[in-house]
Amino acid sequence: MTGSVTDRNLFSPDNLRNPYPLYEELREHDPVHFVEPMQSWFITRHDDVMEGFRDPRLSAARGQLFEYQLQGVDPNVAREFLGTIQHQMFMKDGPEHVRLRRQTLTGFSNQKLDDMRPTVHRIMRELLDEVIPQGHMDLLKDIAFPMPALALAELINVPLADRARFKRWSESLADFSAPAVGANPVELATHANQTMVEMKQFLLPIIEERRRNPGTDSLSLMLQAEAEGRMTPEELVANICLIMFAGHTTTTDQLCNGVHDLLTHPDQLQKLRADMGLMKSAVEEMLRYTTAVPSITRVAAEDFEWHGKRIRKGQLIFLVMASANRDPSAFPDPDRFDITRDSTKQKNASFGFGAHHCMGAGLSRRELEIGITLVLERFPELRLDETRPPKLKCHSLTFRGFDSLPLRW
């Protein structure tokens, strides 16, 4: 990319649709970029983003983000939502974060995730069997949403018969966590609050039953931690809600992003079909090239200077992983989609870094590898549906995917 970007509004429709020229501009000329209306900083260089994940001056206890969204709104409309997330590990720092993460991590060990591979295979085969006779599908609705949700339900061992309700919950929490420009904050907060109420009503009977009849699933392991006093009941419920939401939403988006990138880069698709042994490196390139979570927020825990800019305590800081993943200092020729790129030389930033590295990264990678492998094997003539254009989801800086991705074969 070359040339100067005149519009530095990160939330303009054009920049949300294609943010990469602006990211390049900011990396080169204003890597610690201040947005006055939000009193927020945007960090765009790879090394700075990775360092930001480890910097104790950048706190994960970012209630200010929701306070900003609720300006002028009675906070009681989101009381249940706000009360729940304060117990979630992704809103904690230091020893409190480590304690909560440790109680949950045993359910996401490499051994347990490898044991999940046959389950993910089975779920994918069943979903694909349903659409094969049609000759077409919406990858989002038919595959990318239900697959990780069903896999997660089996990992935690909770019923997921009502997929429509689960989808509504996910969309409600995502919409409030990363609101679209011009969205109604009262409406979003009300829906997110009701969602949290419904999720707890769904989970509490399951938790009580699992207390009576524990197993080896992740929920049972968390209940053991609660029984031993390493988690409070509130923390238990809050972090199961977090896993149910975060554990599948980003994989849904990333699966669609990855398939779309393959279909719009036919040379790379042909290369992958010719050698499916490239799938691991292909998935890493998909994560780098179009990450499902373009940025994540932190809040300044104190006043400090960064690249000559004075950051004030309480200001929000956006660590822009999507920009870090296109930084030429880390990834040569970064705007080229190359499934043979050597990811061992430099890790992409898509799952974060340091203590807050995404706990579900291992599960997501396995789901992407299995899911994309089976899609390509089942549909040798797969293509974008020329009669129905895809609908890109790019209304915020926090989630990027598709609202619809029609395909044919």
Phi/psi of residue 75, nearest 5 degrees: -60, -15
pLDDT at 256 (0 to 100): 98
pLDDT tens sequence across 143-184 = 999 999 888 888 888 877 766 777 788 888 888 887 776 778
CA distances from 324 to 70, 228, 349 (A): 30, 41, 7
**Residue 272 CB-density burial (10 A; 0-12 exposed, 13-18 middle, 19+ buried):** buried
Q: Hey, CA dihedral for 223, 224, 230, 232, is it positive or negative?
A: positive
Which residue has tokens 């200001």?
A: 315
- Which H helix or E strand runs over 43? strand 40-43
One-letter amino acid at 84 equals: T
| 3-state SS, residue 22 | helix
> Residue 315: how many CB atoms within 10 A of its CB?
17
Q: Are 12 and 22 in contact (CB under 8 A)?
A: no
Q: Are 98 and 354 in contact (CB under 8 A)?
A: no
Counting as low any pLDDT under 50, the low residues of the chain are: 2
Taking each helix axis as running N to C, give the angle between helix 233-263 and helix 94-105, from 0 to 180 degrees, rounded to the nearest 10. 80
Full 3-state SS string of 341-359:
CCCCCCCCCCCCCHHHCCC
pLDDT at 163 (0 to 100): 67
pLDDT at 2 (0 to 100): 47
pLDDT at 396 (0 to 100): 83
Q: Give the integer Cα–Cα distance in Å for 351 and 330.
A: 16
**Residue 164 CB-density burial (10 A; 0-12 exposed, 13-18 middle, 19+ buried):** exposed
pLDDT at 160 (0 to 100): 73
* Residue 185 CB partners (closer than 8 Å, separation 6+): 69, 70, 71, 73, 179
Quote the pTM value.
0.92
Q: Are 255 and 110 in contact (CB under 8 A)?
A: no
pLDDT tens sequence across 95-111 = 999 999 988 887 788 88
Q: Give the integer Cα–Cα distance in Å for 6 and 386.
A: 34
pLDDT tens sequence across 108-121 = 888 888 999 999 99
